[in-house]
Amino acid sequence: MVPTKVIAVANQKGGVGKTTTAVNLAACLAAVGRRVLLFDLDPQANATSGVGLEKIEGASAYRVLLGEGNLADKIQPTAFEGLEMIPSEVDLCGVDVELARAENHLERVARALEPVVLSQRFDVILIDCPPSLGILTLNAFVAANGVLVPLQCEYYALEGISMLNRVMGQLHDNGVNPKLELVGVVMTMFDGRTRLSQQVVGEVRQHFGDKVFETMIPRATRLAEAPSFGKPIIHYDKYNPGAAAYELLAQEVLVRIEGT
C-alpha cells in the first residue's frame, strides 16, 4: 500500500489562488478515486466554506493542537465522494499566540496528524496554510512530505518565494523535517492574452525549472464564483476551463507524488 502523502499548499502572499488550488485539487484527486483529506489550517476558513461546510465553533483543530482530544474526531464528510475535511474557524487565530509559549510548538500538527497518516485512511492529505510564514504554516511544513506553491501571474510573483524556499531548506537541512521537498509551483490567474502573464511564467520557469507544473490555472469568473456556492469548480461547472485545468493539475501532482 502506498503511504499517505501530506502536502502543504502554501504561499505567504495572499490573493494568489492558494485556497482555490487546495479546494479544487482536493476535489479533482477525489474524483479520480483517491481518498482525500482537506485540512483547513487557515483561520479565515475559506477552504471550509469552499466545500460547503459551515464554520462551527469548536470544529477546528484548535483544541487538538493544544493537546486536547484526537484529530480524527474532527474529520467531517463533505457532499463530494472521496473528499473529507478538517474544517477551520476563527478560533485558530489564537494558536499562533498559544503555541509560541508551548514546547515542541512546531511539531503539534505533525503529532496530531500522525495517527491519521498511520491509519492509511487517506491517500492524500492536503493542508491549506494561512497566507503567512507563522507558526501554523511552519507546523504544516514540519508535518508535510512536500509543499505545493501557487503563484499568480503578476509582477511581484517571485517576491517572498525566496523566503519560503529558505524556510523549507532550513527545516530540511536542520533535520526538523528531512523528507520535506518542493512538490511544485503552479501558476494561477493566467491570462494568455497578456504579455505580462507570459513574461512572469517565463521568469518563474527560469527560476524553478521543471518544478513548475505544465498546467496553468486560467483567470476564470466561474472559478471565482464556485466557492460562494460551496462547490469545487468540477462540481459547479465541470466544462469550465478552470475545471479542466485543475483536473490536469491533479494528474501532474499524482505523477510527482506517486510516480504514476
Q: Residue 9's beta-bridge partner residues?
A: 128, 148
CATH hierarchy code of domain 5-258: 3.40.50.300
Dihedral of alpha carbons 245, 152, 196, 213, sign: negative
To the nearest 10°, the Cα dihedral for 149, 155, 158, 164? -60
pLDDT tens, residue by residue, 85-114: 999 988 888 888 888 888 889 999 999 999
Q: 122 to each of 30, 62, 103, 204, how far by Cα in Å?
A: 10, 21, 29, 32
Calpha distance 92→90 (Å, rounded)? 5
Give me the pLDDT at residue 14, please.
87
**Which of residues 155 and 238 earns the better pLDDT score?**
238
Give me the pLDDT at residue 109, please.
96
* Beta-carbon contacts of residue 90 (< 8 Å; ≥ 6 apart): 43, 45, 55
Looking at residues 215-231, what average pLDDT do you find?
94
To the nearest 10°, the Cα dihedral for 8, 51, 130, 175? -20
Give me the pLDDT at residue 193, please.
85
Cα-to-chain-centroid distance, residue 206:
24
Q: Which long-range contacts (CB under 8 A, 24 or more apart) does 234-243 make?
A: 234/24, 234/27, 234/28, 234/31, 235/27, 235/80, 242/24, 242/217, 242/218, 243/24
pLDDT tens, residue by residue, 206-222: 989 999 999 999 999 99
Calpha distance 209→202 (Å, rounded)? 10
Structural contact between residues 50 and 236, judged by C-beta atoms closer than 8 angstroms: no
pLDDT at residue 192 tops 90: no
Element (H, E) at 242: helix 241-258
Give me the pLDDT at residue 1, please.
64
Share of the chain above pLDDT 90, in %: 77
Give me the pLDDT at residue 91, please.
85
| Domain definitions of the chain by residue range | 5-258
pLDDT tens, residue by residue, 13-72: 888 999 999 999 999 999 999 999 999 999 999 999 999 999 998 999 999 999 999 999
pLDDT at residue 259 tops 80: no
Looking at residues 165-189, what average pLDDT do you find?
93
